[in-house]
Amino acid sequence: MANFGHVYLIGAGPGDPGLLTIRGKEILECADVVVYDRLVSPAILGMCNPKAKMVDVGKMPTHHKVKQSEINKLLVQFAQEYPQGIIARLKGGDPFVFGRGGEEALELVDAGVEFDVVPGITSAISVPAYAGIPVSHRGIATSFHIITGHEKAESNGELSLDFENLAKCQGTLIFLMGIANMDFIARRLMECGKDPKTPLAFIEKGTTPYQRTVMATLETAGETIVREKVTAPAITIMGGVVELGKTLAWKKNLPLSGKRLVVTRAAKQASGISARLTALGAEVIETPMIETRVVEGSFNWDNLANFDLLAFTSTNGVESFFTQLLASGNDIRVLAGKKIASVGKITEKKLLEYGIRCDYVPEDHTGEGLGKLLAEKCSASELDESRILLLQGNLADETLLKHLPKATRWVVYETLPVAELPEWKREAVECADAVVFASTSAVENFVQVSRLLIEDNSTKVLKHQVSFISSFVSRLSFCIGRMTEAAAQKHGFETVISDETTMDSLVKKIVEYYSAGERA
């Protein structure tokens, strides 16, 4: 074999990122190139190697962004350009179930490129399952048939389906990609003798937070599509098993079903809130706006003896401090006899993970609240202000030093802005319902990155980039803390603030907001 990269034809599954196979995820995490389709979930794209070249070849129902023949050639081209590299071809559903993966594989064989197929969960079976419809059921259907709903014959331009035999089929009929042609399909099946009363279901955006099931019969298929405004991506399932969906529908509408939320926390901190929002039905787009980095050498451990109280103002400060503490060969015994203060409950919880209980936590979980509390303790001679050590980031303001001018501050970590958003993420963010901010720096960097998209005169401004800039202004944002809220309002966001400066409170507020909106 020539010195080519290795191509993996990966099925992304029906939409729910949890249905991507473990093997598929492992490959995406180390891929050098990812060639992906329109129906791949943004959450799955977020699993890809952040250094990978991302290539969108997505197809719309009536417009092919990149022709299949060109996609085939692209895979060969990338295999040649990346010797020993990993090229992931990421397709919705399963590559070999109307995914044209066979055509891509043949092109690779002809070019001498080695490939693997990583099967995906096909929508033909999984989407009905999410709607409570088994494709086979004892006594109702002993077979099921998967049919493409849009492939036309070259000779006459009509659908190349054997309607005569399909009409006689006693099993379940599952049509993929056929909503635009379903009125014609239904009429032809009835003309060939299929019972007009045959139960039928359209399932839109199956397995995603936007899933919707619309019931009909064969004779009402066309009018139902128009009346209910059924749109792609959707599958159509016909047969007696459809009736079971009325009893077995298990996927409930959760409080955040159908909502797309952008989480802007630093990558290592986003997973907690993302998991909770996802469990409540939301589609979460993790879009970290800041990165944190330990300031190495910022600690002089000999000087630690000069302080009686250590004040932590963020979870990043806690992690940075203990990372260097352990790296230096020390452990928590060097804190024996020292008082510990935390700005709020989130930081207090993080300290507890390291076995440290806090002595001081203000009721007002802000720098102002912590400064006032410690200043009061100093006035009461409970603390010596000159022996207080503030452990903060490089962007910390002067609030604490204003209340504690004799205290010492160590910068223990740096907050760095994320330089840019990849195109696939910009498109996902643009369609979001709200943005979640946990810090003022996340707000500022979100706005800054957005502005940079149109201020770079060296590149042509794309239409969707301009709309991205305008669309986030006045968009709803959920904020932790008054300072974060003020920063968001300054840039034109509509804001909703959590009752407490905790993630639990923020998630609760998000649910309350959307629940109240539905009641209204």
Annotated catalytic residue within 16, 32, 94, 177:
177
Q: Are 38 and 65 in contact (CB under 8 A)?
A: yes
State in Å, rounded, how far the first CA of the chain is from the last one.
65
| CA–CA dist 66, 75 (Å, integer) | 13
Coil, strand or helix at 148 = strand
Q: Are 495 and 485 in contact (CB under 8 A)?
A: yes
The amino acid sitting at 385 is E
* φ, ψ at 274 (rounded to 5°): -60, -45
Q: Could you tell me the two tokens for 101?
A: 């993966």
pLDDT digits (tens, 9 = 90+) for 302-327: 889 999 999 999 888 999 999 999 98
Coil, strand or helix at 87 = strand
* φ, ψ at 416 (rounded to 5°): -115, 140
pLDDT digits (tens, 9 = 90+) for 390-440: 999 888 889 999 999 999 999 999 887 776 777 788 778 888 899 999 888
pTM higher than 0.85, yes or no? Answer: no
Say what the pLDDT of residue 271 is: 63
Annotated catalytic residue within 25, 47, 53, 59:
59
Relative to beta strand 388-393, strand 309-312 is parallel
Closest CA to 309 of 394, 375, 368, 399: 375
Q: Catalogue the E-assigned strands of 425-472.
A: 434-437
Asked if 238 is an active-site residue, the reply is: no
The dihedral through the CA atoms of 186, 192, 195, 198 has a sign that is: negative
Annotated catalytic residue within 37, 182, 259, 483:
37
Neighbouring C-alpha atoms within 13 Å toward the C-beta of 284: 23
Give the residue ranges of the chain where pLDDT is below 50: 153-154, 454, 456-469, 519-520
> Which position has the token pair 């093997």?
23
Q: Are 393 and 409 in contact (CB under 8 A)?
A: no
Cα distances from 327 to residues 301, 324, 331, in angstroms, run 12, 5, 9
Asked if 37 is an active-site residue, the reply is: yes
- State the virtual CA torsion across 129, 130, 131, 133 in degrees, nearest 10: 10
Q: Are 239 and 141 in contact (CB under 8 A)?
A: yes
DSSP classification of residue 208: S
DSSP of 86-139, one letter per residue?
Answer: EEEEEESB-TTSSS-HHHHHHHHHHHT--EEEE----HHHHHHHHTT--S-BTT
Closest CA to 121 of 12, 272, 248: 12
198 Rama sector, left if φ>0, alpha if ψ -120 to 50, beta otherwise: beta
DSSP of 125-146, one letter per residue?
Answer: HHHHHHTT--S-BTTTBS-EEE
The residues, any chain, with a CB within 8 Å of residue 30's CB and separated by 6 or more, are: 49, 86
Domains of the chain: 6-121 (3.40.1010.10), 125-248 (3.30.950.10), 260-289+418-519 (3.40.50.10090), 297-416 (3.40.50.10090)
Say what the pLDDT of residue 459 is: 44
| CA–CA dist 58, 419 (Å, integer) | 25
Asked if 177 is an active-site residue, the reply is: yes
| CA–CA dist 457, 453 (Å, integer) | 9
Q: Are 295 and 327 in contact (CB under 8 A)?
A: no
* Helix H or strand E segment including 3: none
| CA–CA dist 359, 417 (Å, integer) | 33
Rg of the chain's alpha carbons, rounded to an integer? 28
The residues, any chain, with a CB within 8 Å of residue 494's CB and separated by 6 or more, are: 474, 475, 476, 477
Say what the pLDDT of residue 457 is: 38
DSSP classification of residue 159: B
